[in-house]
């Protein structure tokens, strides 16, 4: 929990002898969108006005990839992953961090069905 960024913030870069600074977008918790959503959540009415719990946003990222199930043949499956964006990408990408969670395993569509779907939409399968 110590590595999670529960409060979004702006990150700036400035040269020592320059007046101008640049807004840096390096993580989702540095983005204007998350800052805006955080402000909306903070100002949203609550059911219990005496509640003192902090309001935070759990920013979620979903990712998909295909994997071969065997070293022979063509059996494959789509994996759906879940990542918390409140965690730095440098921690998320570490193989032993446990930051990536497998959410679902989706089988591929049969070739016959894919051929039929291609006839309905010209971009299917590209």
**DSSP-assigned states of every residue in 48-115:** -TT--PPP----EEEEEEEEESSSSSS-EEEEEEEEETTB-HHHHTSTTS---EEEEEEEPPPHHHHH
Our count of domains for the chain comes to 1
DSSP state of 10: -
**Residue 34 contacts by C-beta under 8 Å, 6 or more apart in sequence?**
8, 28, 57, 59, 85
Give domain status of residue 79, yes or no. Answer: yes
What is the pLDDT of the chain when averaged over all its residues? 86
Give domain status of residue 69, yes or no. Answer: yes
Q: Look up the domain containing 105 and give its range.
A: 11-120
pTM: 0.67
Give domain status of residue 32, yes or no. Answer: yes
The pLDDT tens digits for 29-50 are 999 999 999 999 999 888 888 8
Among 57-66, 71-80, 114-123, which stretch is predicted with the lowest mean pLDDT? 114-123
Instruction: Please say if the pLDDT value at position 81 is more than 80.
Output: yes
Instruction: Please say if the pLDDT value at position 91 is more than 70.
Output: yes
């Amino acid at each position: 929990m110590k590595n999670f960024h529960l409060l979004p913030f702006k990150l700036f870069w400035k040269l020592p002898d320059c007046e101008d600074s640049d807004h840096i977008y390096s993580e989702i918790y540095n983005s204007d969108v998350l800052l805006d959503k955080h402000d909306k959540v903070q100002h949203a009415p609550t059911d219990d006005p005496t509640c003192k719990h902090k309001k935070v946003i759990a920013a979620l990222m979903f990712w998909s990839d295909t994997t071969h199930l065997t070293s022979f043949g063509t059996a494959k499956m789509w994996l759906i992953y879940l990542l918390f964006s409140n965690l730095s990408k440098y921690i998320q990408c570490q193989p032993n961090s446990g930051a990536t969670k497998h959410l679902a395993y989706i089988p591929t569509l049969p070739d016959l069905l894919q051929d039929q779907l291609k006839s309905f939409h010209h971009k299917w399968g590209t």
